[in-house]
Structure 1
Amino acid sequence: MPKSKRLMELMMTVNRKRKFTVRELAEEFGVSSRTILRDLQELSELGVPLYSEVGPHGGYRVLNERVLPPIAFTEGEAVAIFFASHALRHYHYLPFETEAASALGKFYHFMPGDVRDRIDEMKNRVDFVTPERNSRFPYLPLLLDSAVRGQVIRMEYAPAGDGQPECRDIQPVGIYAKNGLWYCPAYCYQRGDFRLFRCDRILSAAPSSEIPPLDLSEVHLDNWEARKRSKVHNTNIRVELSPTGAELCEAELSRHIPLHLREDGSGCLQGSIPLGEVPFLASFFIGLGREATVLEPPELIEEIKRKLAELTAKYR
């Protein structure tokens, strides 16, 4: 086997293994132990993070920051990956902020000059607009890691309004970004149910071993709300929408409430909602003005009337 091919396969092998010995690799590749030692030295010089352990049970290990083997990208694929990462620049906080910046730098640095020129020309012609926020999200890496590991977090959380910060034990489901803000659906042990937390309202957070974690392996970002709604009192909702109203609801609500579109662009929101969402939906539909007509539930209609009466009194 040519040396270059052997080094490539060796890199993939040591990345795949958690621990290995020189003898194991020599037998697997059909070469001498001395040859494997030289190859490992070359891999180390190329940046593969290896370290050795002495003793009867010693051998080699690869650090957690493992280096992936070289991957051949076409020019179009490389540009697409560059801009996928470049699109995140509007978020000042990311769960992998340092790594994303490093990967972006490597992609740009090692591209041929003509491809870099093409990217430079495209930078000001392609964008993914996200609202700029002054909020801080320092605990995104911890929340994401805890969601993957099934770990409980104890946090201090500031609720909306002027409420006092509360201590909560949560088990994150995941994190997602929307309109420049980060959110974390999680199981809240104090409430005994799933709740949605705004990550910028988390004042402090750390792993906790006081509460045994639940098995949430089947719960993820696409189904956590269904688990929540099965435990709360729901009510039916029906809202008629103009074409403009349907467009706005498609962007904001269609993930949570089924939206039925007609050929002329108008539509109807029809499904079920937790009663706890009535105040938010009342403000939302007031913002749509004549583009939406709420037909049910009565609780939502009364909340809209109440909020409109407050606004009328304020500007009277």
Structure 2
Amino acid sequence: MKKSERLNQELIFLSERSFFQLKDLMSEFEISKRTALRDMTALEEMGLAFYTETGKNGGYHLVQKSLLAPVYFTQDDLTMIFYALQSVKRLSVTPFDKSYPQIFEKLLASLSKRQKDYVLKILDVLEFYDIPVISSSTFLRQLLEATVEEQLLWIDYQQKEHLQQVIQIYTVFYRSGIWFFEAYVVDEARWKTYRVDCLLACEKADNQEKRQSRKELAQSFRSFYQDYLDTPFKCEVDAMGKEHFLKGAYRDMKLQEENDKSYIVGRFNREELDYLVHYLITFGEHVTVLEPSFLREAYLEKLCAIMKRYQ
């Protein structure tokens, strides 16, 4: 283990203690007494406040242990953090109040001039391209908080149909420029995937009696989709199709190699037929729909509809 990593682990280890002895560090991290003493000096230089007590039962007492020093980062650690921030730069809508520029500037200001110059040079030559958020997501923060607090929500929702439902959210996720959430529909005892930008209203439900724990939701989610996704499908893809799949695979799909050929295999429900056909159309000439037959027919029907536009 590198010294910087060990120092970080030591900070975490000490955060649970008000008092410790040198032998505790030696035992926990399998280091010599000399190394442990050097680490204590390094931790003190990083800002860890403590005082020593001599004698047979003496040791180190931490001062204000709830305010431990910040974790120590190497230059590579810092570069990775700023690159990760750069990767979400185009997410103009997030569940959090702070924007990318605010966080970026705050972190940058905490660095030394040498560290700052190095990070800026790296970011100047690295780019991250992805699809930005393409629609507004007004209720995103509220949805995330309700998910964490395991609350039931009343929602007013308009996509293909107008819905007013009481739900409990299991997960919130981002894909291809759109925020979604998976939720349990209380009155219907089923699961549904929603688009955040299709919410018209959202508030905490008056009656919270039927809410479930995170563990119960996870079990319900797995159980429902094991039965719901009742139709297997299989499509052959060439090298370009394989690459396209790896860039944005959906849940319950995987890539399978057989006899030097690549296949997309998975399961779906017939209610999702239109969505699956639309997804397969994005592969262009690089996919061949094999089974089931009704998926292949729906795919060909969509291709014919597209071709008619040019006749």
**Same fold? TM cut 0.5:** yes
Cα separation, partners in 2 of 1:278 and 1:291, compared to 1, 3 Å: same
Q: 1:275 aligns with which of 270, 281, 297?
A: 270
- Residue 118 of structure 2 corresponds to 118
Q: Is the aligned partner of 1:257 residue 2:223?
A: no
Cα separation, partners in 2 of 1:286 and 1:202, compared to 1, 3 Å: same
Q: Is the aligned partner of 1:285 residue 2:265?
A: no
> Secondary structure at the residue paired with 1:238?
strand
- Residue 145 of structure 1 corresponds to 145
Q: Tell me by how many angstroms 1:203 deviates.
A: 2.0
Cα separation, partners in 2 of 1:99 and 1:305, compared to 1, 3 Å: closer
Q: 1:167 aligns with which of 164, 167, 180?
A: 164
- Residue 19 of structure 1 corresponds to none
> Secondary structure at the residue paired with 2:131?
coil
Give the letter for the 1:136 counterpart.
S
Task: Give distance in 1, aligned partners of 2:83 and 2:68.
Answer: 21
Question: 1:151 touches 1:213 (CA, 8 Å); kept in 2?
Answer: no
Q: Tell me by how many angstroms 1:99 deviates.
A: 7.3
Q: Tell me by how many angstroms 1:101 deviates.
A: 5.2
Give the letter for the 1:261 counterpart.
E
Cα separation, partners in 2 of 1:146 and 1:102, compared to 1, 3 Å: same
Q: 1:194 aligns with which of 163, 166, 191?
A: 191
Give the letter for the 2:252 counterpart.
H
The root-mean-square deviation of aligned C-alpha atoms, in Å, is 3.4
Q: Tell me by how many angstroms 1:150 deviates.
A: 0.8
Task: Give distance in 1, aligned partners of 2:248 and 2:299.
Answer: 18
> Secondary structure at the residue paired with 1:138?
coil
Task: Give distance in 2, aligned partners of 1:311 and 1:150.
Answer: 44
Cα separation, partners in 2 of 1:91 and 1:71, compared to 1, 3 Å: same
Q: 1:208 aligns with which of 195, 205, 209?
A: 205
Question: 2:147 touches 2:168 (CA, 8 Å); kept in 1?
Answer: yes
Give the letter for the 1:234 counterpart.
D
- Residue 230 of structure 1 corresponds to 226
- Residue 73 of structure 1 corresponds to 73
Cα separation, partners in 2 of 1:149 and 1:101, compared to 1, 3 Å: farther
Q: Is the aligned partner of 1:248 residue 2:241?
A: no
> Secondary structure at the residue paired with 1:230?
helix
> Secondary structure at the residue paired with 2:253?
coil
Q: Tell me by how many angstroms 1:108 deviates.
A: 0.5
Q: Is the aligned partner of 1:180 residue 2:185?
A: no
Q: Tell me by how many angstroms 1:254 deviates.
A: 5.9
The TM-score, its normalising length taken from structure 1, stands at 0.70
Cα separation, partners in 2 of 1:148 and 1:177, compared to 1, 3 Å: same
Q: Tell me by how many angstroms 1:128 deviates.
A: 2.6
**Structure 2 unmatched runs, 5+:** 1-10, 17-50, 53-63
Question: 1:157 touches 1:203 (CA, 8 Å); kept in 2?
Answer: yes
Q: Tell me by how many angstroms 1:95 deviates.
A: 1.2
Q: Tell me by how many angstroms 1:185 deviates.
A: 0.9
> Secondary structure at the residue paired with 2:85?
helix
Question: 2:158 touches 2:198 (CA, 8 Å); kept in 1?
Answer: yes
Task: Give distance in 2, aligned partners of 1:103 and 1:289.
Answer: 40
Cα separation, partners in 2 of 1:167 and 1:276, compared to 1, 3 Å: same
Counting matched residue pairs gives: 258
Q: Tell me by how many angstroms 1:148 deviates.
A: 1.3
Cα separation, partners in 2 of 1:177 and 1:68, compared to 1, 3 Å: farther
- Residue 314 of structure 1 corresponds to 309
Give the letter for the 2:307 counterpart.
T
Cα separation, partners in 2 of 1:148 and 1:205, compared to 1, 3 Å: same
Task: Give distance in 2, aligned partners of 1:71 and 1:145.
Answer: 27
Q: Tell me by how many angstroms 1:220 deviates.
A: 7.4
Cα separation, partners in 2 of 1:77 and 1:312, compared to 1, 3 Å: closer
Task: Give distance in 1, aligned partners of 2:220 and 2:197.
Answer: 21
Question: 1:259 touches 1:268 (CA, 8 Å); kept in 2?
Answer: yes
Cα separation, partners in 2 of 1:247 and 1:262, compared to 1, 3 Å: farther
Give the letter for the 2:152 counterpart.
V
Cα separation, partners in 2 of 1:69 and 1:116, compared to 1, 3 Å: same
Deviation >6 Å, runs of 4+: none
Task: Give distance in 1, aligned partners of 2:154 and 2:130.
Answer: 30
> Secondary structure at the residue paired with 1:90?
coil
Task: Give distance in 1, aligned partners of 2:179 and 2:210.
Answer: 23
**Structure 1 unmatched runs, 5+:** 1-7, 14-28, 31-42, 44-65
